[in-house]
Structure 1
Amino acid sequence: MSSSAVSAPVTMLVTRHIAPERYSDFLSWMRQGEILAAGFPGFLGSGVLQPPEGGDQYQIVLRFTDEASLLRWEKSLPRRMWLERGANLVRASHEHRVKGTDGWFAPKAASAPPRWKQAVSIWLAYFPVLLVFSILVSEHLSALPVFWRVLITSVILTPIMVFICIPVISRVLQRWLRAG
């Protein structure tokens, strides 16, 4: 089995503080960077969280298949040239990376819980949500082909899990997750 088959995807969160007078230039430069990254081996996707009105802090999320792919992207000449072109658009920048599901758990901890504890925690959050969803909604979706039922279910449950259930279960089980 290859090392990329067993390694977890890596997410890099880049925080950039933008000079307000360079806002439109920054957006154009950022789109160029997204296009550049999209053509890079191992790139899985990206997203941008804009600051609230009057804010200057952009959050850019980049996902790669593994640490090696992200490292190759970070050290690539095209990326370095792109960063150089945009240096005068950014007042400050900070990067943070997270492997797999580690970022779902308390970020202030020295290390993530063991994978088996993460799996149990996710299951404890997922099972009741899936059960309730199945009881309340499955009957209404039964006429649809399997593809559409699964698509609708995942589109509804994924944000519920990521933004509500996983953070709640992480707080509830925090002691157990951190225990040796």
Structure 2
Amino acid sequence: MNQPVTLMVARRVAAGQYDAFLVWLREGEALATGYPGYLGSGVLTPPPGDNLVQIIFRFACPQTLDEWEHSDTRRLWLERGQGLFEAPQARRAQGMDDWSGAGLQPPPRWKQSIAVWLAFFPISLLFNAAFGDYLAHLPLLPRILLSTLILTPVMVCVFIPLITRALKGWLHNASSRANGWRGSAR
């Protein structure tokens, strides 16, 4: 099963080209909007005194992103942007890779599994201790449906990011500390 994939590109805007760069960037977003598998994009503008713009493109699956990255439409758009920015850096993230942190390789799946379990077990235990009596009268399917509907967003938005930050040193030990910027930015 394919998961959505995010391409994060950081571009340093050339001196005196900021306004032209933004026009060019919006053109690229408009071109991507009509492309199959495109789910959205965003731009993180730099703080005053900085020129590093971060661009995020989200696609339905790695294949649709690859098709966009290798399309003539994108190639021509990038050619029109020559001189507006310095060499870009790009990083792809998919699924739990997003929790790894910028610039880090995703940890091995077995470490991700342990991290998720360490977050999920105590929260699930607390949830069942607090609400188990209220849910006990429900048949199994609605009981599990209700608990997962409540716990999944709490886990994804709060506890998994917390546990991955807390375990960052272990998740990204010396053998997995490599520069995570990869992929085609051109």
Q: With structure 1 as the length reference, what TM-score do the two structures score?
A: 0.68
Residue 20 of structure 1 and its aligned partner are, at CA, apart by: 3.3
* Equivalent residue, structure 1, for 2:139: none
CA drift at 1:174? 4.5
Q: Deviations over 1:100-154 (max 9, x none)?
A: 12120255346443464464356369x48xx6xxx9xxxxxxxxxxxxxx9xxx7
Counterpart CA distance in 2 for 1:77 and 1:26 is 20
3-state SS of the aligned residue for 1:101? Answer: helix
For 1:98, the equivalent position in structure 2 comes to 93
Residues 1:66 and 2:90 aligned together: no
Secondary structure of the corresponding residue to residue 88 of structure 1: coil
Task: Call closer, same or farther: CA 1:175–1:51 in 2, change over 3 Å.
Answer: closer
Q: Secondary structure in 2 aligned to 1:54? A: coil
Assess, with a 3 A threshold, how the Cα gap between structure 1 residues 41 and 57 changes in structure 2: closer, same or farther: same
Q: Give the Cα–Cα distance (whole angstroms) in 2 for the partners of residues 60 and 172 of structure 1.
A: 27
User: Retained in 2: the 8 A contact 1:113–1:177?
Assistant: no
Which residues of structure 2 form unaligned runs of 5+? Answer: 132-148, 174-186
Partner residue of 2:162? Answer: 168
**Gap regions ≥5 residues in structure 1:** 1-5, 136-149
Residues 169 and 105 of structure 1: is their aligned pair in 2 closer, same or farther, counting only changes over 3 Å? same
Relative CO higher for 1 or 2, CA cutoff 8 Å, sep ≥ 6?
2
Change in 2 beyond 3 A, CA 1:122/1:104? farther
Q: Give the conservation status (yes or no) of the 8 Å contact 2:115–2:163.
A: no
The TM-score, its normalising length taken from structure 2, stands at 0.66
1:28 corresponding residue in structure 2: 23
The offset of 1:25, in angstroms, is: 0.6
> Aligned match of 2:12 in 11, 17, 33?
17
Please identify which structure carries the higher helix content: 1
Q: How many residues align?
A: 148
